[in-house]
Amino acid sequence: MDINSINRFIENGLLPSHTLGLMGNHGIGKTSYVHNTVRKIIAKKHGLPLDRVHVISRCVSIMDPADLIGNFQEFGGRTYSCPPSWIPTCKAYDDKMAQLYEENGMHYSRLTQYDDIYILFLDECKRGNAVIQDGIMELLLEHRLFGVDLKENTYVVCADNDNATIYNGTRRDPAQESRIKNFTFAPTDKEYLEDFSRRVEAGQIHEAVPDFLRKYPEFIVLPTKTIEELAIQGKKGPSPRDWTHLGECLMNFSNNNDDITTGNVNFLTEIASAYVGFSYAMKFAEFCEVDRVHEIDVKKILQSMDKVMVKVVREAFKNNIKLAVPTCHSLLELVKSTRLNEKHEKNILAFLECCPNEAIVAFVKGWMKEKKDQFLAWRKTPKRYKIYNAALMNKEGKNGGASAYDAWVLNFTKMNNISVSDLDRDDIIIAA
């Protein structure tokens, strides 16, 4: 089931007393979905701010029995169950235990925020030992642990890999199956790509990853049969989680002024191979080197002409200078239909600084001809005047005399009372 459909169920159908089960292969986003989307839906559903909805996540496969059972306390010859600290216990239980502790000269620590909402997320539920499975069963079926009720309105969500061919684990008890509301977690390619785009906008991952996956969406989530074949061969293949981690790695390289997505095919392949497997890494590196540098997204130029995009554009024009003028024409069409803000204006300038003179002239002449008022509003700083005139004018004077560009510099600086060095400034406004 896709994300939108599961969201609709959680919003309108899921009760706190029901246990939600998410089934699917590893690395497809189940954990991230619970910690982010499910948490937001539950907060909205209960009219609470997000910081008052707490996701408590535990991986069942690595649990020790003590992690689940907790401890026991004896008072007056009777033994009372004391769940571990991560279990949000109900107020009635805490009141009872607090009274017993006080009567025996001890202090009882209340850890549960009774007005908040808790989501217990239990991952890899089928992979714990027998003791763990018994405890988990009570949590999943009754929302209590060894006789102690969870806090009211506590949601329980479990996740499992459902392919016994490639994953270790036991089959669920039929009683578990009958009480869990299981859904196959299967986001669409569109939903994954939207998530990747949000991560790019937030500066979390390198845009090369979603660029690649938009062209090869079949590599976002591999078919189960392919995963089985790779497992038999002892080879690695990618999952959405792997692509996310690769994007984070590449972004970190870029943030350290060491973008490896262009001009580093062999090194990029080795790095990517550690995340997505060798064959997929080769395909990704080839895309970055050959395809990506020739496919410039003008929307990205206008919205985010950062140092990564500057490098992409420079490399593209270096490899194929004939690409510059068509890219300028495409950008101009977008610019004409956009209400420009200061960020857009600076991005246009940064783009033009990457262009050969021929492309700069074509862009500015076309802009002046088709939307002169917009162009004049943009051309308001010395640096913006300079980039056009430097591209347009002859910089070589005749018989040792001043060139046309030199003459313009002299006249422009004198008329606007600025120095020659001020021509490289974009923070001075020139009066129209």
Q: Where exactly are the structural domains of the chain? A: 3-184, 189-294
Provide the b/e sequence for 379-397 (b: ≥16 CB within 10 Å).
bebbbbbbbbbebeeeeee
Confidence of residue 43 (pLDDT cuts 50, 70, 90): very high
Q: Please report, for residues 374, 381, 388, 411, 420, the alpha-carbon distance to residue 428 in angstroms, rounded to integers and kept in the order given.
A: 19, 5, 17, 17, 13
Query: 214: exposed, middle or buried (C-beta count within 10 Å: 0-12, 13-18, 19+)?
Result: middle
CATH code, residues 3-184: 3.40.50
Q: What's the pLDDT at 179? A: 74
pLDDT tier for residue 224 given thresholds of 50, 70 and 90: confident
117-174 per-position pLDDT tens digit: 999 999 988 776 777 777 788 888 889 888 899 999 999 999 988 765 666 655 666 7
Tokens matching residue 152: 């009211």
Say what the pLDDT of residue 290 is: 75
**The predicted structure's pLDDT at residue 328:** 93
Q: Which of 236, 237, 283, 292 is nearest to 259 (CA)?
A: 292
Spatial separation of the C-alpha atoms in residues 305 and 217, rounded to whole Å: 25
User: For residue 130, what pLDDT is reported?
Assistant: 72
The confidence score (pLDDT) of residue 168 equals 61
Residue 249 has pLDDT above 90, yes or no: yes
Average pLDDT over residues 51-69: 89
Reported as a single tens digit per residue, the pLDDT across 251-299 is 999 999 898 998 789 999 999 999 999 999 999 999 988 776 556 789 9
Residues 366/332, Cβ–Cβ less than 8 Å? yes
Evaluate whether 292 touches 286 at the Cβ level (below 8 Å): no
Count Cβ atoms below 10 Å from residue 273 Cβ, excluding itself. 18
80-109: pLDDT as tens digits: 999 999 999 999 999 999 999 999 999 999
Instruction: Write down the pLDDT at residue 308.
Output: 83
Does residue 285 contact residue 252 with C-beta atoms inside 8 Å? no
Check residue 394 and give its pLDDT: 84
Task: Output the CA–CA distances (angstroms, integers) from residue 55 to 3, 20, 320, 358, in the order listed.
Answer: 19, 14, 51, 57
CA distances 387 to 69, 73, 192, 345, 432, Å, are 71, 78, 40, 14, 17
235 CB contacts (<8 Å, ≥6 apart)? 277, 278, 279
pLDDT at 64: 83
Considering the chain, what percentage of its residues have pLDDT values greater than 70? 95
159 phi/psi in degrees, rounded to 5: -135, 145
pLDDT tens for 390-406 read 999 988 877 767 889 99
Q: What is the mean pLDDT of residues 36-43?
A: 97
Q: What pLDDT, on the 0 to 100 scale, is given for residue 42?
A: 98
pLDDT of residue 22: 94
Q: What is the dihedral of CA 329, 388, 392, 411, to 10 degrees?
A: 160
Range ranked top by mean pLDDT from 62-71, 221-230, 318-327? 221-230
pTM of the model: 0.67
What local confidence, expressed as pLDDT, does residue 172 receive?
A: 62
Q: Which residues contact 316 (CB under 8 A, 6 or more apart)?
A: 293, 294, 296, 323, 327
What average pLDDT does the structure give for the chain?
Answer: 90
